[in-house]
Amino acid sequence: MLLNTVDDLLTYLGRAIMSASTDEFLQPYIAQAQEDVFERALGLPFLVHLDNLYNDHEIAIDDKYVELIEKVRRSLAWHAYLRYLPFAIGSDGDNGLQELGTDNTQPVRIGVLDKRIRETEKNAVSSLESVLLYLENNIDSFPEYRDSETAKASRALFIPSATVMSEFLPQIAGNYRLYLNMVPYIKLAERDYFLPRMGEAQYARLKAGLIANDLTMPEKDLFFHIRRALAHTAYWIALPNLQFVMLSNGNIRVLSDFDGIYNSKAPSQETVVGMVRNAESEAKKWQNALRAHFNRNISSFPLYADSLASKATPANKLPDNDAYTSIFRMK
């Protein structure tokens, strides 16, 4: 494993972990975090490759790999600690689960534990996003990752990371776990809303350009408009299925799969309907803006120009009433 001992965790967590903890007690949480989080994020072959590089001291590695492994180990430490924390204040015995305490100490209050879990989750997701951004920004330094199916699948998405999505949806806030919840809706939105609007040939070309990293300047400029429209479209279709709560100030907070909020209430159905309606309006506005950008620069996109999509009537276009001269009175 990339983390093997309590001392490894102490390197990244400091006082958050007790040096008196045993390696045997913490290793199951490290193994679970490595398998559940990093196999999914990096792919098993590349994770095994990093593991081998780190644990085989006879293999010489360059500075890029040294920095990447350091980032992965830091993130793994926080993810392992996140899994350990709920079990840190109790012990199973003959009389069931018992809270631990001594004459001089008492079990931690639930509010303190909750705050530590929430802050640990923030550190875990932000450090994992840092790993993924470092990989993408130095992709040619890591050919084993660059050429993997995991990397290709991620890079082929029109919105490939939580950081990119946060540029258009601040509520994502670089949260990798929340972004993972959005990925199925991003894929659905790409297929159902964007492929028909740009045509199969243009759609396939953009996907190939992302994977090969050979986008033209007009295509790179186009992606600002695609990502803005796609972020809002995916959010719109995902919103009824996301977990969120009403805060005391009346705002809505979208949650990741773990958030740790206590004493919160669900928003009313009327509020949810209003949120979805507003999200739909934003999505359609930016879909129309994407089409307008295509049409203004159609000479730069011959595949789109030759497609039926460029000639189709926009789905979100208002009706043309110029042919009518009558005045209608609405009661």
pLDDT in tens, 282-307: 999 999 999 999 999 999 999 999 99
The CA distances from residue 301 to 74, 144, 203, 211, 216, in Å, are: 44, 33, 11, 19, 10
What's the rounded Cα separation, in Å, for the pair 131 and 75?
A: 8
Radius of gyration of the chain (CA): 25
pLDDT of residue 257: 43
Interhelix angle 149-156/200-212, rounded to 10 degrees, is 130
3-state secondary structure of 243: coil
b/e code 233-248 from CB counts within 10 Å (16+ = b): bbbbbbbeeeebbbee
| Residue 93 token pair | 């015995």
CA pseudo-torsion sign 75, 79, 81, 85: positive
Q: What is the pLDDT of residue 202?
A: 97
Distance from C-alpha of 204 to C-alpha of 210, rounded to nearest angstrom: 10
Query: Which residue ranges in the chain fall short of pLDDT 70?
Result: 18-22, 89-108, 243-268, 313-331
pLDDT given at position 34: 92
Report pLDDT for 73.
Answer: 95
| Residue from 231, 218, 224 nearest 296 by CA | 218
Q: What is the pLDDT of residue 173?
A: 74
14: left (phi over 0), alpha (psi -120 to 50) or beta: left
Residues in the chain: 331
Residue appearing with tokens 């709560």? 245
- The strand pairing partners of 245, in sequence order, are 253
For position 102, what pLDDT does the model report?
A: 59
The full set of domain ranges for the chain reads 1-148, 157-331
Of the candidates 18, 23, 26, the residue with the CA atom closest to the CA atom of residue 105 = 18
- Give the helix ranges, DSSP H, for the chain: 6-13, 23-33, 39-42, 44-55, 63-84, 110-137, 143-146, 149-156, 162-166, 176-189, 195-198, 200-212, 217-238, 269-296, 302-305
The overall pTM is greater than 0.85:
no
CB atoms within 10 A of CB 140: 8
